[in-house]
């Protein structure tokens, strides 16, 4: 790509992908790929001349490789080996990886010398969403609406970038597993049963604004976008299929 090509490509993704602030982070990294001639067009001439001053030529007797260059070269080779090992593990997709590469990646993990930097290295093929529901009689259930994630099938997907909605983001990851793997979700349900204002304020709507519900549960739904004809006929942006309970029906004991 030409000068600014990476930044332009990331801006295009940001306008169409709704990926929170991730594209902005990538654009900042891409700035390091630009050469000096690009910046010289915008920086003051005096500053450019100062930054591009040629160092005084050294005499042959003083042409000794500085220790700093040696250290940088060693680190560059080390990072190259680690990065290659990381990539090999990713490409093998859980297959057999040479023991040397595995040990090297494990050793450097504590220092974070290199990583795959892949936000979405593996994409899911379905969209399971958690719908939290409350009830006072155990028969009639009302859903809590979140500010950003899919819930009401008639609601158009909102624009969030560059904002990062923490709760809605975590709900997506929670749906990839179960609530036992996400202990925060159980605490979230308890706070809803208690009607904690700081927690209910994170939601778009609270169907129990005055008194918390007596019962609470969470169901898992498989969401799909509707096609054009269905949207025209029903006004729905989503169609969904109930997959079962994600979190069992619970209630607080009296006095809690």
Q: In the prediction, which pLDDT does 193 show?
A: 96
- Length of the chain, please? 256
CA dihedral 235, 241, 247, 248 (to 10 degrees): 110
Structure token digits, residue 213: 């519900």
Q: H-helix or E-strand containing 216?
A: strand 215-225
In whole angstroms, give the CA distance from residue 216 to residue 214: 7
How confident is the model over 61-93, as pLDDT tens digits?
Answer: 555 667 878 888 888 888 888 888 777 776 765
The whole-number pLDDT of residue 256 equals: 47
In terms of Cβ atoms closer than 10 Å to its own Cβ (0-12, 13-18, 19+), residue 222 is: middle
Nearest by Cα to 184 from 170, 197, 196: 170
Q: Find where tokens 């793997």 sit.
A: 181
pLDDT tens string, the chain, 256 residues long: the values are 554 566 677 778 777 777 788 878 878 887 877 777 777 777 787 777 776 776 655 555 555 667 878 888 888 888 888 888 777 776 765 556 677 777 877 888 777 777 766 666 667 889 999 999 999 999 999 999 999 999 999 999 998 888 889 999 999 999 999 999 999 999 999 999 999 999 999 999 999 999 999 999 999 999 999 999 999 999 999 999 999 999 999 999 754 4
Q: Which helix (H) or strand (E) holds 104?
A: helix 99-108
Q: Are 111 and 77 in contact (CB under 8 A)?
A: no
CB-CB contact of 105 with 82 (8 Å): yes
Q: Tens digit of pLDDT for each residue in 171-193? A: 999 999 999 999 999 999 999 99
How many angstroms separate the CA atoms of 86 and 112, rounded?
A: 12
């Amino acid at each position: 790509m030409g000068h600014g090509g990476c930044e332009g490509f990331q801006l295009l993704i940001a306008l169409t992908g709704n990926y929170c602030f991730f594209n902005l982070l990538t654009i900042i990294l891409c700035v390091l790929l630009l050469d000096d001639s690009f910046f010289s067009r915008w920086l003051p001439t005096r500053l450019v001349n100062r930054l591009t001053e040629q160092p005084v030529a050294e005499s042959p007797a003083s042409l000794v490789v500085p220790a700093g260059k040696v250290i940088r070269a060693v680190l560059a080779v080390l990072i190259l080996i680690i990065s290659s090992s990381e990539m090999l593990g990713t490409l093998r997709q859980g297959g057999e990886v040479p023991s040397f590469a595995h040990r090297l990646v494990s050793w450097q993990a504590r220092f974070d010398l290199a990583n795959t930097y892949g936000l979405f290295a593996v994409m899911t093929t379905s969209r399971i969403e958690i719908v939290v529901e409350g009830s006072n009689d155990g028969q009639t259930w009302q859903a809590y609406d979140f500010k950003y994630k899919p819930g009401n099938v008639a609601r158009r997907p909102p624009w969030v970038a560059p904002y990062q909605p923490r709760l809605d983001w975590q709900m997506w990851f929670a749906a990839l597993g179960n609530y036992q793997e996400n202990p925060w979700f159980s605490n979230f349900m308890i706070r809803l049963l208690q009607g904690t204002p700081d927690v209910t304020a994170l939601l778009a709507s609270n169907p129990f604004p005055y008194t918390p519900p007596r019962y609470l549960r969470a169901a898992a739904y498989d969401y799909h976008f509707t096609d054009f004809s269905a949207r025209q006929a029903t006004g729905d942006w989503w169609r969904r299929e109930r997959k079962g309970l994600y979190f069992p029906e619970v209630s607080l004991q009296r006095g809690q």
